[in-house]
Structure 1
């Protein structure tokens, strides 16, 4: 099996090293690095904006570019957190706790250098994990019937909604909204119109481009346009010489780097967790195992390396269930699934056999892209810091302009532009009410496939719902669903520990 995997990986490098694919990979990681620095943008909004461009691209180049945006953004986010104390994106919020104190102590360059090493190590672990674990998952998944696939998707939907940011109930509500939006259009099996309200433009359903650009382009930008502050750039001058950690600092980073990487890889296999939860768990673990936990928050390099390694390990590992099973772990992965579907490619167990150039080319491009990012980060730090000085009110109109152009260019249809604007207004209202729209995309992408497999399961069992518990694998997935719901209910109902006034805090 190892020899086969290495042979396939060699084929992947042949695909990824084609001149046009290298260009798309470079463009993706460069854009991702830049948007990682910009508050309010992030990979989700950026991939949404770039999605219409993939219509005229070959599938391999399109997925390489979009994936590069995703993992490239993680490098840019670390720069802001460490140098400017500006957590542009949730996974890097915990990096600020020790990263910025190191910067104020004159060791910001060393923190960045150690972060790049830890990030590359974590990403390499995630890539290696994908090489050997994804084909195994595919072999197992090929034995799944409609009942098992349906139960697995239900687990992914529940995990993605209840483990998302904010209230679990709000997450479930957003997932249900996504499921409802996913059934708009013409039923493939019966030909019946569903929720089209007489609009012929909706017969083919809501376009994923309109939904993504509305929720994560217009909605997110409207919500953040007046809520952003520019960081303090007085500590932001870093040279190549400054980025070399001392021998003592490198010695202290080895164990946290391994622990963070392991935590990130485990979190990536659980749908809905993502890099944010992985980074916080890694930081809490380091603080727990440290002999001097009281020093965390004052500039401990362990508190920088562990969460960053876990973030990159989790981001790369998220591709395992997405590409091998067709189950996205978060909204960004759901958007990448949508990009594949636009190209007429159905992600899942057959992807590796039917489109080996995409799967193995993507894996090879991860290593190429991560090496590019390590090289790019050093000379571009100063440029990214200067970009942060550009007022967001100037970036916002240009982003909206490209959104409208992208939506119209996709099908030359003004109806979709109006559709995007309406969805954007809905997304803005949801954000203001505390409903994060990320689970909507998860429900929208998985909903039609969930419905299709549910119908097949019912046809094969002659309408007997007991088929979902009679089949062992399906029953195990449903058991995990029940366990997940039970844990969420317990966490909500558990009495909060109260501290008596005047009682000293526990160390």
Structure 2
């Protein structure tokens, strides 16, 4: 009964006309920001922060939150249609979403991602309502050793994202870790691996890396191809609604993705990006035919999309109930609350029930608004594929340059995205997948930070990672994944050798 009373209190707050307007404005702007590659929710929320000075705290946090989870919806659109991740968490959607678009299934892909986003968001919201105090306690039980082990598990799992060999996937993860080390050391403050370039003292831009590896590299590949008109534009859209079999295939991936994303999003510092990458890796592991992934598997888009949207909802749990922002976006939103004299923390739900439960109910309303906004516009987005590619490529490069420049107002980032785009094209030619590299870059700095913290706590004793039960369990899973990857590689080599010997015998017999 207490829960129903809290939800009723939140509904009264969320359906006020002013609150509804700011909720709609936030989710609409978030969708636009997500569709336009390179801008991101962080830049949009930062620009909107001065507006919140003239708003009530509840309306302000509802609007900023709408931008945040609305960007998760819109981020998949550019990933599917143009191979440009609108947000870092939608980068993994490029792997199967773009091939689906090239196969004439762009409408189906956009429809599935919209439904998966709704399922994931609502699952995360239900978890947030029912288990917010419990999840907050679980988050508190995670120390540096547990976070390090979880990050390591994520990196090893990322190697399975690659459609090629596990060795290439691990190589890309390590390369991403190396790129993540460029910049100023967070502990000593000493610049490292910046090669005398002052602009690299702050590290390589995540936006530039994502845009270069996925967007610019794809533009270069298509320009170098013989068919500049684009095969996608010639494929008629048979239907925007998935078939019964395709819909059936999406059910369990959405369930698994939603559960994983909701659980990971509630952990401070994890966020939607890690949830989407891990969800994709799990789906590839449990699939009967993993070779389908990377070629337009519908599970490869619905699982990560449901995961990142669930994580976007539950990311508010540690931010509001513990006062620990999970990422930079959450830090800005907490800053907006602090500006209004509201301190997030363990007493937030008790002291600000109207704000907390109003925010929770507005999440449900905002996600329904997003479905209403996104489903009718699928045809509009698919119409982009009918534009001649010779016109589209210059526009894509302009949007990439503007998006990258808008983050730091630095021309050097435009040069960076050009260099990274050439590197991404070279990796593409050599059959290396860029997705594991991106995850290695994202997790690398956090992995190093938690490793140092754990070693400081244990006074240099590495046994801390196996003495703590949660950490030891995560490391055991990591070791099992490594052994499985080695066994899969050896088995594939043996099978290929046997097939070659069989073919030689048949050739000799004939």
In which range does the TM-score fall when normalised by the shorter chain? 0.5 to 0.7
Moved more, 446-455 or 217-226: 217-226
Distance in 2, matches of 1:7 and 1:360, equals 9
How far did residue 197 of structure 1 move? 1.8
How far did residue 485 of structure 1 move? 0.8
1:384 to 381, 390, 396: 381
Answer whether contact 1:13 1:361 (CA < 8 A) is retained. yes
Structure-2 residue corresponding to 1:262: 255
Distance in 1, matches of 2:197 and 2:80, equals 46
- CA deviations over 1:428-477 (Å, ceiling 9, x no partner): 22222222222333223322222222122222222111121122222111
Distance in 1, matches of 2:305 and 2:66, equals 17
Structure-2 residue corresponding to 1:148: 146
Structure-1 residue corresponding to 2:429: 432
Say if 2:455 is the partner of 1:455. Answer: no
Structure-2 residue corresponding to 1:414: 411
Go from structure 1 to structure 2 and tell me whether the alpha carbon gap of 1:385 and 1:459 turns closer, same or farther (over 3 Å shift). Answer: closer
1:468 to 442, 447, 465: 465
Unaligned segments of structure 2, at least 5 residues: 50-59, 83-92, 265-274, 291-296, 320-325, 336-342, 504-510
Say if 2:70 is the partner of 1:68. Answer: yes
Query: Pairwise mapping of residues 43-442 of structure 1 onto structure 2 (< 5 A)?
Result: 46-47=37-38, 52-58=43-49, 64-65=66-67, 67-72=69-74, 89-91=94-96, 120-121=118-119, 123-132=121-130, 135-225=133-223, 228-231=230-233, 259=252, 261-266=254-259, 268=261, 271=275, 272-274=277-279, 278=283, 313-319=306-312, 337=327, 339-340=329-330, 367-377=364-374, 379-442=376-439
Moved more, 208-217 or 69-78: 69-78
Answer whether contact 1:13 1:365 (CA < 8 A) is retained. yes
SS in structure 2 of the partner of residue 159 of structure 1:
helix
Distance in 2, matches of 1:397 and 1:355, equals 49
TM-score, normalised with respect to structure 1:
0.66
Distance in 2, matches of 1:408 and 1:71, equals 23
Answer whether contact 2:69 2:313 (CA < 8 A) is retained. no
How far did residue 153 of structure 1 move? 1.7
Answer whether contact 1:94 1:279 (CA < 8 A) is retained. no
Answer whether contact 2:7 2:357 (CA < 8 A) is retained. no
Structure-2 residue corresponding to 1:41: none
Go from structure 1 to structure 2 and tell me whether the alpha carbon gap of 1:118 and 1:71 turns closer, same or farther (over 3 Å shift). Answer: closer
How far did residue 142 of structure 1 move? 0.8
SS in structure 1 of the partner of residue 164 of structure 2:
coil
Answer whether contact 2:183 2:192 (CA < 8 A) is retained. yes
Aligned residues: 436
TM-score, normalised with respect to structure 2:
0.66
Go from structure 1 to structure 2 and tell me whether the alpha carbon gap of 1:208 and 1:115 turns closer, same or farther (over 3 Å shift). Answer: closer
Go from structure 1 to structure 2 and tell me whether the alpha carbon gap of 1:444 and 1:353 turns closer, same or farther (over 3 Å shift). Answer: farther
Distance in 2, matches of 1:353 and 1:224, equals 52
CA RMSD of aligned residues (A): 5.1
- CA deviations over 1:61-106 (Å, ceiling 9, x no partner): 56643532333455899999xxxxxxx954558989x997xx9xxx
Unaligned segments of structure 1, at least 5 residues: 36-44, 81-87, 286-302, 327-335, 502-507
Distance in 2, matches of 1:469 and 1:127, equals 34
Go from structure 1 to structure 2 and tell me whether the alpha carbon gap of 1:394 and 1:451 turns closer, same or farther (over 3 Å shift). Answer: same
Distance in 2, matches of 1:204 and 1:337, equals 17
Answer whether contact 2:70 2:370 (CA < 8 A) is retained. no
- CA deviations over 1:3-22 (Å, ceiling 9, x no partner): 69858976995899463442
Go from structure 1 to structure 2 and tell me whether the alpha carbon gap of 1:458 and 1:211 turns closer, same or farther (over 3 Å shift). Answer: same
How far did residue 389 of structure 1 move? 0.8
Distance in 2, matches of 1:373 and 1:427, equals 33
Distance in 2, matches of 1:79 and 1:456, equals 42
User: Which has the larger share of helix?
Assistant: 2
Answer whether contact 2:31 2:74 (CA < 8 A) is retained. yes
